[in-house]
Amino acid sequence: MQLIPMPLGPINPDVESLVVGAVLFGPLYFLVRRMILRLNRVLEERATLLEGVTGGPAAELRDEAERIRAEHEATLAEARREAAQVRQQAREEGAVLIAAAREEGVRERDEALVGGKSRIEAERASAEIELRLQVSELASELASRIVGEPVAAGTGSGR
């Protein structure tokens, strides 16, 4: 049975098809409407949350967190500055200690050189005196070896 008693082709639907379509469309309409309402409610909640992030209590918490972070960064910067000062002071103290140790080493070296030179001079002088006393004996002994006959040691005064 057709809805319009004229031959319109595919535009003229059957009454049974319209009834089946209307019966199936009703529950589908209510199902889609319910899903759209839920979707709108979720979107509104999301908008409320986003609004809360940009303002309200969440913004206050974010501002507080930013303030605390800035305080921590300032504290860290101060600690780094103090550490740099301590390192610089330690370098300066180390340089002073190194310079003092170097001066002490140079002083000890100079004292050792002076002491060594004086000892060498004293030993050289004593050896010279000893050799001057023995020079005539050594000379006569050497001459006797060269000549092959004993030569008497002279009691010359030297120079």
- 113-126, pLDDT tens digit by residue? 999 999 999 999 99
The average confidence (pLDDT) of the chain is 86
Would you say residue 78 has pLDDT above 70? yes
**Amino acid found at 132:** R
Would you say residue 79 has pLDDT above 50? yes
The whole-number pLDDT of residue 144 equals 87
The whole-number pLDDT of residue 110 equals 94
- 32-74, pLDDT tens digit by residue? 999 999 999 999 988 887 776 666 666 778 888 999 999 999 9
d(CA 2, CA 5): 6
The string over 65-98, giving b where at least 16 C-beta atoms fall within 10 Å of a residue's C-beta and e elsewhere, is eeeeeeeeeeeeeeeeeeeeeeeeeeeeeeeeee
Name which residue leads in pLDDT, 104 or 150.
104
Please tell me the pTM assigned to this model. 0.40
Per-residue pLDDT band at 29 (split at 50, 70, 90): very high
155 within 8 A of 132, measured Cβ to Cβ: no
Name the percent of the chain lying above pLDDT 70: 88
Would you say residue 138 has pLDDT above 50? yes
The whole-number pLDDT of residue 159 equals 45
